[in-house]
Every structure is written in structure tokens, then in C-alpha cells.
Amino acid sequence: MIYFFSAFFCLLAWLSPNHYQPWLSVYQDSSMFVAALLLASSLLNQKSIHVPYILTFFIFLSFIPLIQYYLGIVYFFGEAITFFFYLLALATVFIVGFNIAQLERSNKDNIIAGFFITILIASMISVWIQLRQWLLFDGNIWIVDMPPNGRPFANMAQPNQLSTLLIMGVLSVLYLFEKHKINNISASLATIFILFGVVLTQSRTAWVFAICILIWWLIKIRVHTRLRMRYLITWVGVFVTLWFCLPYFSELLGITSIRSLSDRATAGLERWSMWHQLIMILPNAPLQGYGWGQLNVAQILNQSDYDQYPVFGYSHNLFLDILIWNGLLFGGAISLFILFFLLKMALSAKDNESIVILAVVGAILVHSMFEYPFAYAYFLLPMGFFLGFLYAQQNRDIRSLSIQKKWYVLHLVYCASLMAVFAYDYKRIEHEHELMRYENVKLRNIDLKNIEPDVILLTQLRDYIWFVRQPLLADKSEQELDRMRKIVYRFPERPMLYRYIQTLYLNGQTEEANKVLNFFNTLYKEKLTLLLIQQRLEYEKSNK
């Protein structure tokens, strides 16, 4: 029964239509955390729980954001504890996968098959939602509305994210086919249906993965599999054919605009320039790095002629993010460890189950080379679970520590408690953020006595709301200006930067105002000057 509820929350994580500010994926990630906690609690039925020594790497990694916060590198405790919690959850599901791999063959096969069936169900439902969006059917509360001329994204609200889920769905079909759970006909029908959904996303990451899976299957050609190489090539051919035909289908039906293969291939090339400008700031990074999640801060601290493209939040490459966050020395060591671990796993894969599961991990990692699916629990935790499972499966003589159940229970209680505090905080933040939006459009007056929500962990979102509600006055203290600086450096959104420049000017901080203004002009292709800002302030004051 516990596996059923875990699967249910996994489905919620991938199918929930709720994406609201200020944290668009909070409901999806929360569902995956609950699913992981339920799955982790299933280990309490085992006689002993084993923890591999490699877990020390996860423990070391999870404490880095907290250490960076206490060193003043990461600005907000809320961000540090959030990264800590995600990494702690990753370590937990790794332990779960590691222990499930040591169950009896029938038990572990049923659990893994159940996980793949869950992914398959989520994929099939997502493609059905996609078809409704593509065919311009009326929406409802269970389906995310697609913007005009958008790419169908089901309820994940992001086409590339959906593409990765659907690729995992195709690999789920492959796993079930390899395990003789389904026959040729049902596998073929399911694959065609899901591949059509992948094509609807128009994700270029899918092309890269198609090449990678061909290379992977060729490398493992000596492994006995039901899917022969010639059939895999045929399926890749079907995928390419569908992609070529889709624009004509759409035009024939007179529905959603679909870009051609050549248009998609030549679009988005500015990413190379984005990576180049970020690589240029790496040599200036402090020994400890710029801090986990502090890419925006790193760019403002290193203003140069290379700041031509807005890069918010993540660099769109996992290893580049690791280097920026942790510095060249520590980030390089972490990256090498990850690469060595993955290479060892790949070399050890000698059966059809292992190569399919590693292909699922590969789908997420390939996407992580171009975007940041690793930042979402609904991809991060399944990947951690599969890696833990394979690590035990491929290393029977692996050294591990057997821990008493009371310590494992204490760990789960700690994780559940953190989840509860996050939920409590976010409920307050979400309410205050909604009120803040009403205030911005003058539908509600700001209560200056309650300008910031009372939270325990999510301090970055608390301070964000505090900043937006700040009156534009010339009486700011040094502490208030420094607090505002940290918020704007971390969240350099257009209105936030502009508001901060105004505040700096009013408070006589012209040097900092010019610095931020230069970054604003470069990032948003503007030509503002302090004189123009002064004139606008005087105009606003005279028209109050």
C-alpha cells in the first residue's frame, strides 16, 4: 500500500497543474518529496538498513551551502537551507535505491517495474493533455492554459521539462518490454503515442538524446537485449519523420503554429554566448566560489563587456553551475568526482536492466547540459533513486555501514519536520505575495506595520516581499540599503533593479547607483542615465 501512495504522489508531481508565483514548482516538488518520504519509510520493514560509504560525498555536498551562508557568500539562509534540503533528499533516495537493490529478486523487480509503470502513466496522460492543447480544446482547472502560439507542455508548463519526462516514458516502455511485461504491439503503440508528444514539445534536447541513446546502445551492443540495434535506429527514424511531418499536420488542421525542424535547429544559438560570458567570470571567482544559487550575484560583481545576455538563476549547464557556485578548485573536484562515478556506473552496466536505467539517468543529465532539470525535485529524486539502485546492483561487494533503525527513523522525522516548516513558511509567503500583487496595482493599501511575513526558513522570499513594499524615500539606513542590495543582486529583475537605482539616488549613493545602472542598461538593452531617473522622480513627485 505504501508503494501505491508513493506512486500517487509521483503522479501528482508530474501532472499537477498548479504553477503559481513566487515559487512555480513548489507544489510539484512537494509532491515528489512526499513520495520520496513514503518510499523511504518502506525500508522500516527490512531487518537492517545499509548506508554506503559514498554517502559521505552527499553529506559533504549538502553542507557546502550552509557553510557558504555562514561565510557570507550566500546571502540568504533560506536559500542555503533549501539547497541543503534538496541534497539531503537526494542522499535519502540514494539510500532507498541502494537498499531496495538488495531485496529478493521478485520484490525489487516489482518495485522498479512499478516505478516505470508510474512514469509511463504520467507520460501517457501528459501526451493526452498535450493533444488537447495542440488541438486548441477548451481548458479547465485540471489543465494548464497554453499561451498563443506556444509549444504544448501538458501540465509541466515547460516544453523541455515535459520532453524529458516523455523520454523517460519511452524508456519505461523499453524497460517493460525488456522485462517481458508487455509485448511488441503494445510497446510499439505506446512508443508511437509518446514519441508524438516528444515531437510536440519541439525540444532540441530530444535530438541530442536520440544521438546519445544510439551511441549508448552501440557501446553496449554485446549485452543481450530484446531491442536490437536495427530496431532502435528505426525508432529514431520514426521520431525524425514525425518531426518533419508535424508542421504540415498543424497547417493542414489550421491549429497551433509549429516551427519546422530547420527553424528550431537555428534558434537559440545565443546560449553559446551566454556560456562564454559566464566562463569569463570564473577566473575571478573566490576560492570558495560565488555560492550555491548565486549566479545572478556573480554576474553583477563581475560587470564587463561580456554581460550581453540575461542569464537568471542557472547557467543552463550543470557543471558550469557547479564551478560558479563552488569555485574552480572545489567545483572542479566535485565535477570530476561526479564524472568518475558516472563513468564507473556506465562501465559496470552489463545487463539490459542496468543499461535502460542508466539511459533514464542519462536523459536527465543530457537535459542538464543545456538547462537545469536537476533543480527540480521531480527529476532530481528519481535520478538519485535509480543511481542508488544501480550502485548496489553493480557492486555486490560494496562496503556499507549497517545502521540501527532508530537512527534512520530519526533521520526521516528530521526530513519530515523540515518539510513541515517549509510548508508552514510557504503558506504565509504565498498569501503575502498575493496581497503584494494587489498592492502593486493599487487594489490594496500597504500595511507598513506588517511589511514582511513572519517566517522561519524562507528568508529570501520574505526579504523579496519586504523590498517590493518599501516606500521610495530618502531616509534609508545603511543596514536597510545593504539588505536591499543583497535582494537586488540575488533577484536582478527589471523593476527590482530600477527601484533600487531610484532608492540609491535618493539616498546619495551615486557610485553604487551608477554601477547598478550600468548593469541594468547592459542586461535590458536600455540607455538610462541618472539624470533621466532624477527627472522621472521629480515628475512622479509633482504628480502625486
Does residue 23 carry a pLDDT above 90? yes
Q: What is the pLDDT of residue 8?
A: 98
Residue closest to 387 by CA, chosen among 28, 10, 55, 48? 55
Q: What is the pLDDT of residue 415?
A: 97
Q: What is the pLDDT of residue 64?
A: 97
Q: What percent of the chain has pLDDT over 70?
A: 96
Q: Smallest Cα–Cα separation from 207: which of 254, 164, 251? A: 164
Task: Tell which wins on pLDDT, 168 or 397.
Answer: 168
- Spell out the residues 6+ positions from residue 303 whose beta carbon is closer than 8 angstroms to its own: 515, 518, 519, 522
pLDDT tens digits along 369-402: 999 999 999 999 999 999 999 999 887 778 888 8
Q: pTM for the full model? A: 0.95
The predicted model gives 159-175 an average pLDDT of 97
Using a pLDDT cut of 90, give the percent of the chain over it: 70
Give mean pLDDT, residues 174-178. 96
pLDDT of the residue at 523: 83
Place of cell 509485448: 183
Residue 308 predicted with pLDDT over 70: no
How many Cβ atoms sit within 10 Å of the Cβ of residue 461? Answer: 25
Burial state string for 528-537 with b = 16 or more CB within 10 A and e = fewer than 16? eeeeebeeee
Phi and psi, residue 400, nearest 5°: -145, 165
pLDDT at 172: 98
Q: What is the mean pLDDT of residues 353-359?
A: 96
| pLDDT at 51 exceeding the cut of 90 | yes
**74-109 confidence digits (pLDDT tens):** 999 999 999 999 999 999 999 999 999 999 999 999
CA distance 402 to 238: 49
The mean pLDDT of 526-543, rounded to a whole number, is 83
- Categorize the per-residue pLDDT at 222 as very low, low, confident or very high, splitting at 50, 70 and 90: confident
What's the pLDDT score for residue 491? Answer: 94
Mean pLDDT in residue range 204-213:
95
Query: In this structure, are residues 399 and 53 in contact, taking their beta carbons and an 8 Å threshold?
Result: yes
pLDDT of residue 410: 96
Q: Are 148 and 257 in contact (CB under 8 A)?
A: no
Report the pLDDT value the prediction gives residue 257, as an integer from 0 to 100.
64
Distance, in Å, from the CA atom of 239 to the CA atom of 242, rounded to the nearest integer, reads: 5
Residue 164, pLDDT > 90, answer: yes
Domain boundaries, the chain: 2-267+349-403, 470-542
Mean pLDDT of the chain: 91
